[in-house]
A and B are shown apart, each in its own frame.
Chain A
């Protein structure tokens, strides 16, 4: 079996996406594809400028939940590495919030796994965003479109993957 690496980190500090992606290819020549996704704090929410996002999380469960989905991604696709880094605490517009990187021999698995992990992170990872605007601070509401996105991965895996 090929050597699979997995990195899951929760932290306050920002991270270097390129450096983390590079780690997935270090010392090996079997990786032909690396896909990265970066979630970034935008400067507006519903048309109003925002001062900051604050992310609360459930320590212990956040890591465990991310790990469950990383394990599922490794089971569903021929991946050689996965990295998920998610910040918590106060985050300013323009700053990175989180990243997912996936590595595989060929691109299909890397793209599919990155999408899968993002759809699940949006709905099942225990983080909650609070937004600060001039008009006050409020909790962001979960979107039903995120639930629909996550649901599509519950279809039979072979049917899903064959369609890609």
Chain B
């Protein structure tokens, strides 16, 4: 699946997007955050406060307990400041 990063999450991770293949134990958005965190320093820095991170699956907002099975695209970003 594709993962996209925005704003300071993108800056800390050091990339805009990537294709990933998480193991089967990674079932929810929260699991995915934990799995990404251990991939490197940039990820750990981006996700150091998971409560502040928002997520979307296939361009819809989801909560941390949302399942990621069947997702084409997951996105992580800070609270929004549009408008």
Which residues of A are at the interface with B, using a C-beta cutoff of 8 A? 39, 55-58, 60-62, 64-65, 86, 97-98, 118, 121-130, 139-142
Q: In the bound complex, do residue A125 and residue B82 qualify as a contact, i.e. CB atoms below 8 Å apart?
A: yes
A121 to B4, CA, bound (A): 21
Size bracket of the B interface: 10 to 19
Q: Who on chain B is nearest to A120 by CB?
A: B83
Q: How many Å from the CB of B45 to the closest CB on chain A?
A: 14
Q: In the bound complex, do residue B8 and residue A139 qualify as a contact, i.e. CB atoms below 8 Å apart?
A: yes
Q: In the bound complex, do residue A64 and residue B60 qualify as a contact, i.e. CB atoms below 8 Å apart?
A: yes
Q: In the bound complex, do residue B82 and residue A58 qualify as a contact, i.e. CB atoms below 8 Å apart?
A: no
Main secondary structure of the interface of A (DSSP, over half): mixed
A127 to B38, CA, bound (A): 28
A58 to B80, CA, bound (A): 11
Q: In the bound complex, do residue A125 and residue B80 qualify as a contact, i.e. CB atoms below 8 Å apart?
A: yes
